Structure 1
Amino acid sequence: MKIRSVLTALTATAMAVSVSIVSVPVAHADLTTPGSFNTVHPLRVLDTRYGIGTTKAVLAAHGTLTFQPTPGLTTPVGAVALTVTAVNPKTLGYLTVYGAGRPLPLASNLNFQIGENVPNMVITPVGTGGRVSIYNGSLGTIDVLADISGFYTGGTNTAVSGSLVPMAPRRFLDTRIGLGAPKRPAGPNSLTVLKVAGVNGVPVDASSVVMNVTAEGATARGYVTAYAGSPKPATSTVNYLPHKTRANLALVPIGPDGTISLFNGTLGTTALIADISGYFVGGSPATDGTFVPTTPYRAFDSREAGRRPAGALTISRIGLFTSDPVFSAFKAVVVNVTAAEPQTYGFLTTWDGTTQLPSVSSNNFQANQDSAGAVIVPVNPDGTISIYNGSYGNVNYVVDITGFVFNLPAATPFAGTTAKTSVSAAARLADALAKVRQLSRTTSSVAVSVTTTR
């Protein structure tokens, strides 16, 4: 089929690029604060189909592979942000991603069915030699891909607000066995409240956690929204279908009472599972590369009146911010991008649009099945991000913003503006967040989508 030729061509390009790279092309390599996020140009660092990063061979049943996600990089690395994809699994199962040389955790990062290509973003601590291991929790073989979008500087400095403290993945919630909540499925339009602060190594003053949320055994189509406090935001974290297991990563703020809420938006029931692999230090971030949590809000939805879906094999520029220079306080955004109502199967690539289309994917989807995927993406100087529709059908985009990466100093202001460098970091951040709250109240009315055909 034609779509297979497109996927093959893109994979071949990725292989050629990866073979010639001796180091990860880091956009901000001078961040030395432990736990600060360094953005990189998206790059495929693992592909078992072509021998990228490992031996050219499928991953065996219950097998483990280990690879180097930051080849040639000299900066100390504490954790990496990867999009990991399970390709052509022979049986249903799951993948667990963790630091090499460490015990296999009781946690999962993505779940798959026979023959389905399933991605998920992973933020995982690195282990021995800065390497990462992936375990195949199934009775069949599988190919595995990994694309890097950034890394966190190594070391732990709990005095820096907004810095990441990675943890070995640990299960906090499993309604199938009564862990963290009563032993029963989440009911229709129900709320599950999970205590996370002060539990299992997450300090009481943490601002947010790195959480993988899984819906399993659903009896109807639905979604899960992970958030803190009230009211519930009009966003989604995981979209699921009946009798299928779906997972998605989220950076979730912690409420004043130390809890996180998970809303189950469905007419049926589903089991909920949540694994945590790190937390962000509390306080007001004022250091370059630190995480700024926000209440999730919908920044763009192509299903709204007056908009249209993205066409086959096109690139869409999605405006997340206005041209106000205040938004130069953010070097990257944490977004959850949903492929909604796709006409055929395919993939999405999300990046800042300042380079040619990278040979990576941030989401894979099946026909008529909504699929959500988180990604940390730098913002183009004009305030946009770009999304490529790698399918031969139309697909709608839904973009929810769940956090920001702080930018200090603002080295590259938006086009036609001047960076604010004379005010304090705290003042710049407060100004930017105030404007963000204005945008969130108007939902996606400020966003624009300019689509060009490739």
Structure 2
Amino acid sequence: MHKSMKRWKAAAVIGAGTMAIAGALPLQAAAAADQTLYLTDSQCDQPWNNWFKWAEQPLQVPAGAAPSGAMCRVAISVGPQGAKNARLNLTISAQSVTESGYSPHELAKRLVIASCFGDASGITAIPCHDGGHWSVNDDGSLTWDLIAPMDFPSADVAGWEQRAGQVDIRISGAPSTKSALLRGRIQFSADGVAEQPASTILINYTGNGADIDIADASTLVPLTPTRLLDTRDGTGAARAKVGPDSTLTLQVAGRAGVPAEGVSAVVLNITATNPTGDSYVTAYPHGRSRPSASSLNFAPGKTVPNQVVVPVVDGKVNLYNHVGSVDLIADISGYYTPGTAGSRYTALATPSRLLDTRNGTGAPRAKVGPDSALALQVAGRADVPAEGVSAVILNVTATNPTDESYVTAYPHGVRRPTASNLNLTPRKTVPNQVVVPVVDGKVDLYNHVGSTDLIADISGYYSATGSVFVPTGPTRVYDTRNGIGGSFGEIGPGHQGGPGFILWSNGLPPYGVTAVALNVTVTDVHTSSFLTVFGRGLAESPEPATSTLNYDPGDTVANAATPRANYGVNFTNHQNYVSVIADAAGYFTAG
């Protein structure tokens, strides 16, 4: 064993994997003169840091298990000329895929991989490259590019066995009723380097008797907001309030520009108005069991909106009211469809403020007056491309309103729709996340009556490149009241991380999640304050100068958030203590 391999054994690592791995990565012969990149050694880890050679013993980890340290490492040697644009590929054979009982696409959805790249001195314990995806080849085999193109520096080698780098490989599989023995190969390549011989691998995907339904990856088709439901006048349903412990079924497919088939989820702005009791509404897929999650909370006499992403089953979604009776309104602003016909999402590394009429950010320093629209430039700002943007995700906040009013966000230059996104009450600060199509690089924000200051924070944009969306249905993944998601107790001033909820048990793979669609609720409020939701980075992430929810004593309020989530999510409360709840509607991943 090399001295370097001993360092690997002593290293503290965070691995994951719900696979059993065996294989052969033999030591390579001395590199020929035209070879500058080759494998030199490999090891795998069992629980309790029991290292062994990959070729001698399988790595056993049950499917669906939480990340527990199961991983393999591969050492790489580089000759004196170095290697440019080095790549590492893992391929599962077509015959093996067929024998697994899964189609290539189904198997690809169930296996995720992370890899981390380091030099000879050691390697970080945090996955560095977990945004890859399987490619389904013409022959039915699967290929994963384990690491992004990298350069290996030149190595002043005295012997062929000296190495210049190493790669961690971590594999995780979804809970499954099936077990599958998958044969394949792993291979390094680099520009200007002679082709290297592939090393065979054997992956024993051991089912655990459970199974989760993984939806097809989808892309967004943004729409000009259109009203689908209004129980006050009979639009989309009977002209009657939704009563206590009652569910309204809303047809969404085949209406307002939504196709009759091929819709995996819809983006709705749901508004509750004229409620008779303290209650909540849950939006969830039609025909499924109602989850223990909520979409918006309201008190008697209030009008409360919130944006939700809801999976669609049989062309419908369900809206459940808990107690009392309430009128419900639903406006659609987009739908997700399986495949690549729509747009992909790019979450910004840090949310950014694009508009604040209180200080002149993005618009003149003046309130938006009655029956007035403000045109907001979004393209070309805050890391948003100047061209090719189809829609943006904004958190729009109205503050200091002088009258009861509403605000509508819609594509620039089009006729204003009969839809709303925020409902305003004098002296109340109200936020709501919106998905808005972009025209000529702009979106419009309309105020109905009175005057109000408007704030807009951007968390991401849709374009031809980026991540695809996998709807999971509303699932409670974080609740500081009972410790769900890893945190127990009210959040005081400062950061509170929530990385523990990105798990297979919540329908979220532990690797490859680039962003997550959340509904965040704050309750047990003692002081007027605001919450900021943003992605966690490799190092401590700086807190952005943005907000997600605003609340006053006694409030229970919700708002959607779509933060980057490569390494988890941060929640920051700014005053006193509050309880925070988060329900996941789905996740974004490279695809």
Normalising to structure 2: TM-score of the pair? Answer: 0.39
Partner of 1:133: none
**Which residue type is aligned with residue 299 of structure 2?**
L
Q: Distance in 1 between matches of 2:522 and 2:580?
A: 5
**Which residue type is aligned with residue 520 of structure 2?**
V
Aligned with residue 390 of structure 1, among 568, 574, 589: 574
* 1:328 equivalenced with 2:511 (yes/no): yes
* 1:404 equivalenced with 2:461 (yes/no): no
Q: Distance in 1 between matches of 2:218 and 2:340?
A: 7
Taking a change above 3 Å as real, the CA distance of residues 161 and 388 of structure 1, as seen in their structure-2 partners, is: closer
Q: Comparing both chains, which one has the higher relative contact order based on Cα–Cα distances under 8 Å and sequence gaps of 6 or more?
A: 1
Q: Is contact 2:513-2:566 (8 Å) kept? A: no
Q: Distance in 2 between matches of 1:192 and 1:246?
A: 18
- What is the CA distance between 1:174 and its match in structure 2? 0.2
Percent of matched pairs sharing the same residue: 36
Aligned with residue 202 of structure 1, among 258, 268, 274: 258
After TM superposition, list the pairs within 5 Å mapping 1:47-446 onto structure 2.
Answer: 162-204=218-260, 205-228=262-285, 229-255=287-313, 257-266=314-323, 268-282=324-338, 288-304=466-482, 307-311=488-492, 313-318=493-498, 319-321=500-502, 326-354=509-537, 355-381=541-567, 384-391=568-575, 393-408=576-591
Deviations 1:239-273, CA, capped at 9 Å, x for gaps:
11110000100111111x2111000012x111000
Q: Distance in 2 between matches of 1:407 and 1:208?
A: 18
Deviations 1:82-127, CA, capped at 9 Å, x for gaps:
xxxxxxxxxxxxxxxxxxxxxxxxxxxxxxxxxxxxxxxxxxxxxx
Q: Distance in 2 between matches of 1:378 and 1:172?
A: 30
Q: Distance in 2 between matches of 1:202 and 1:357?
A: 38
**Which residue type is aligned with residue 230 of structure 1?**
R
Deviations 1:31-57, CA, capped at 9 Å, x for gaps:
xxxxxxxxxxxxxxxxxxxxxxxxxxx
Q: SS in structure 2 opposite 1:328?
A: coil
Q: Distance in 2 between matches of 1:350 and 1:173?
A: 30
Q: Is contact 1:342-1:395 (8 Å) kept? A: yes
**Which residue type is aligned with residue 225 of structure 2?**
P
- What is the CA distance between 1:163 and its match in structure 2? 1.3
Normalising to structure 1: TM-score of the pair? Answer: 0.51
Taking a change above 3 Å as real, the CA distance of residues 326 and 339 of structure 1, as seen in their structure-2 partners, is: closer
Q: Distance in 1 between matches of 2:340 and 2:320?
A: 27
Q: Distance in 2 between matches of 1:250 and 1:348?
A: 19
Q: SS in structure 2 opposite 1:360?
A: coil
Q: SS in structure 1 opposite 2:563?
A: strand
Taking a change above 3 Å as real, the CA distance of residues 323 and 358 of structure 1, as seen in their structure-2 partners, is: farther
Q: Distance in 2 between matches of 1:297 and 1:322?
A: 12
* Structure 2: segments with no counterpart, 5+ residues: 1-215, 345-464
Partner of 2:57: none
Q: Distance in 1 between matches of 2:246 and 2:231?
A: 13
- How many residue pairs match? The answer is 243
- Please report the RMSD computed on the Cα atoms of aligned residues, expressed in angstroms: 2.4
Q: Distance in 2 between matches of 1:323 and 1:192?
A: 30
Q: Which of the two has greater helix per residue?
A: 1
Q: Is contact 2:219-2:340 (8 Å) kept? A: no
Q: Distance in 1 between matches of 2:243 and 2:501?
A: 34
- What is the CA distance between 1:407 and its match in structure 2? 2.2
Taking a change above 3 Å as real, the CA distance of residues 373 and 282 of structure 1, as seen in their structure-2 partners, is: same
Q: SS in structure 2 opposite 1:281?
A: strand
- What is the CA distance between 1:203 and its match in structure 2? 0.7
Deviations 1:136-176, CA, capped at 9 Å, x for gaps:
xxxxxxxxxxxxxxxxxxxxxxxx96111111100000000
- What is the CA distance between 1:284 and its match in structure 2? 9.4
**Which residue type is aligned with residue 209 of structure 1?**
V
Q: Is contact 2:219-2:339 (8 Å) kept? A: no
Deviations 1:319-354, CA, capped at 9 Å, x for gaps:
222599952222110011111111111110000132
- What is the CA distance between 1:290 and its match in structure 2? 1.3
* Structure 1: segments with no counterpart, 5+ residues: 1-159, 409-454
Taking a change above 3 Å as real, the CA distance of residues 323 and 194 of structure 1, as seen in their structure-2 partners, is: closer
Q: Is contact 1:213-1:248 (8 Å) kept? A: yes
Partner of 1:5: none
Q: Is contact 2:274-2:302 (8 Å) kept? A: yes
**Which residue type is aligned with residue 306 of structure 2?**
N
Taking a change above 3 Å as real, the CA distance of residues 326 and 222 of structure 1, as seen in their structure-2 partners, is: closer
After TM superposition, list the pairs within 5 Å mapping 1:35-50 onto structure 2.
Answer: none
Q: Distance in 1 between matches of 2:223 and 2:308?
A: 15
**Which residue type is aligned with residue 407 of structure 1?**
A
Q: Distance in 1 between matches of 2:503 and 2:231?
A: 42
- What is the CA distance between 1:380 and its match in structure 2? 4.0
Taking a change above 3 Å as real, the CA distance of residues 345 and 177 of structure 1, as seen in their structure-2 partners, is: same
Partner of 1:23: none
Q: Distance in 1 between matches of 2:510 and 2:217?
A: 20
Range with bigger deviation, 354-363 or 280-289: 280-289
Taking a change above 3 Å as real, the CA distance of residues 161 and 323 of structure 1, as seen in their structure-2 partners, is: closer
**Which residue type is aligned with residue 532 of structure 2?**
T
Q: Distance in 1 between matches of 2:251 and 2:229?
A: 9
- What is the CA distance between 1:234 and its match in structure 2? 0.6
